[in-house]
Amino acid sequence: MKGEAASTESVPLHTGLAGNVEAVPTGGQSVREQSKQDDADPDLSTENDRLPMSGLRIIDVGTFLAGPYAASILGEFGAEVLKVEHPIAGDPMRRFGTASKRHDATLAWLSEGRNRKSVTLDLRQQQGVDLFLKLVAKSDVLIENFRPGTMEEWGLGWDELSQANPGLVMLRVSGYGQTGPYRRRSGFAHIAHGFAGLSYLAGFPGETPVVPGTAPMGDYMSSLYGAIGILLALRHREATGQGQIIDIGIYEAVFRQMDEIAAAYGLFGKVREREGAGSFVAVPHGHFRTIDDKWVAIACTTDKMFERFAAVMGKAELAAADRYGNQRKRLAARDEINRIVIEWVGSMPRNEVMKRCIDGEVPIGKLNSIADIFEDEHFQARGNLAHLQEEGLGEVVIPGVVPTLSETPGRISNLGPPLGNATYEVLRELLGISAKEIRRLRQNKII
């Protein structure tokens, strides 16, 4: 647990606590401001302690998203996250994406750097390494995503880290993992999507494969597996007191989502190809344009669903046994079925198509732009858009907390912090370093 010296003793987590935590964002306050408010409000402080990850301290020394996003997730549920960054430039994520009025924060950083304290340390200097090891000794989890071997080059390999804290849980995310012939290659989500087979399937038959969405899904997916791995490793530590390494290649997280393609190739030599907006397992199953130039997704994966859809279209006869009532017959007549659906959907505005399908219990959804999402009542009702006030920027809207816990819902305490906003606090209060020594460290550009 945070604040305790490294020990081989079992360290329990604060799980299973009763009570309900306010799920409303705190308005983008800094951690220091929030701490002052907690001290002034015993009830709020008590409720904060009930978050399931309360009492856990995480060091996030990675960059961008793959790995650090795991810290974001656990931070939403009470973990204290210390973002260790280079004292001059900080995490490159601060300059990635759309610029904001804050010189050290893009909108991407404000959103994904949430619930952190920023601590600056130069890990290429021995004094920085020494301070980092002291910080590790008082923490539970370390997250890094450098090219394999980088931490070892800095004198921060597993041998040194586990000696400082035998109970440390270390998440290591890289493009190809810590082992294997490609381990030293650089990797990003875009590369992982291609290597894992996802990009090959994205696009239309015979055309150039496209990027499967402009968001770096591989980074998010590897971090989700990383968060799971951290929880599993902490469970093991509860029983044994022993820490361990979690090793994830970004491509592995993507490949794990690829349903049956491995089994289909291994058994039958089948290579799945690009299918555009459709699906090889069902029809109609794709994206269709309405008369007002909007789009809907329709998915009829069973004979019963198609029967309902045929009735909604006013063509109940299509679902007869001698026509297209059987999935196999529909797949054989894919082009004809899609032509019928395209004509029907294209004859009406999207709202009318949606109403008829929903009333007829046909699976349908809008292809939402972000403007659509901001107006959607379901996103509003579920709290999927979190509104926080940031000094100098006004209201900033970011994705809300997922998942929703009934008794201990997570919360967003602050947006991505200014570079080094908690360096003095952490060094002085957590490591007990004198103000004079902190000034000297700053003069020497260690912090």
Say whether pLDDT at 377 is over 60: yes
Averaged pLDDT for residues 95-109: 96
Say whether pLDDT at 13 is over 70: no
- For residue 51, count CB atoms less than 10 angstroms from its CB and return exposed for 0-12, middle for 13-18, buried for 19 or more: buried
Say whether pLDDT at 15 is over 80: no
Give the residues across from 248 on adjacent strands.
173
Q: Which residue has the higher pLDDT, 230 or 35?
A: 230
Name which of 433, 294, 292, 298 is nearest 356 in CA terms.
298
Cis peptide before 417 (omega within 30 of 0): no
pLDDT at residue number 47: 53
Say whether pLDDT at 7 is over 50: no
Catalytic: 41? no
Which pTM was predicted?
0.88
Mean per-residue pLDDT of the chain: 90
Q: Which of 38, 60, 91, 219 is catalytic?
A: 219
CA distance 145 to 124: 16
Say whether pLDDT at 254 is over 60: yes
Q: Which residue has the higher pLDDT, 421 or 3?
A: 421
Say whether pLDDT at 330 is over 70: yes
pLDDT at residue number 39: 40
Question: Tokens 């003069």 map to which residue?
Answer: 443
pLDDT at residue number 296: 98
Residue 27's identity, in one-letter code, is G
Averaged pLDDT for residues 376-401: 97
pLDDT band at 119 (very low <50, low <70, confident <90, very high): very high
Domains of the chain: 31-256+381-443 (3.40.50.10540), 285-289+295-366 (3.30.1540.10)
**DSSP H/E element including 174:** strand 169-174
Say whether pLDDT at 29 is over 90: no
**364-366 vs 295-299, strand pairing mode:** antiparallel
H-helix segments, 29-186: 31-40, 42-49, 68-76, 107-112, 126-137, 150-153, 158-164
CA distance 26 to 405: 18
pLDDT at residue number 18: 24
CA distance 72 to 123: 22
| Each residue's pLDDT tens digit, 163-220 | 999 999 999 999 999 999 999 999 999 999 999 999 999 999 999 999 998 899 999 9
